Amino acid sequence: MTETNFDRYLARKLENEDFRRRFEEADQAWDIALQLAALRKARHLTQQQVAELLGTKQQAIARLENPAYSGHSLSMVRKYAEALRAIVNITLTPLERL
């Protein structure tokens, strides 16, 4: 695979510890949002239906499924998953292993 200008740019930026930490946090939020949306779609539910299951508003579900949102709480993600018959698995990785 050919390395692009963006690949080189990102590699340089990731050398900065603060940038790397923020990048990894954003990546995790993106992953959570996409998994929530995929689970909902696999269950053939709308955001409104999930909101009703959780006793909240559709806008709250849209926010949870938005990759730009980084305020996911573990308790809300668990409630969402449980309402859609899924479980949440968490893996803690020591920084030195990254």
22-35 tens-digit pLDDT? 777 767 767 889 99
Q: What is the mean pLDDT of residues 66-89?
A: 92
What gap in Å lies between CA 14 and CA 84, rounded to an integer?
Answer: 36
pLDDT band at 95 (very low <50, low <70, confident <90, very high): confident
What gap in Å lies between CA 4 and CA 16, rounded to an integer?
Answer: 20
State residue 26's pLDDT score: 65
User: Above 90 in pLDDT, residue 47?
Assistant: yes
pTM of the model: 0.72
pLDDT band at 97 (very low <50, low <70, confident <90, very high): confident
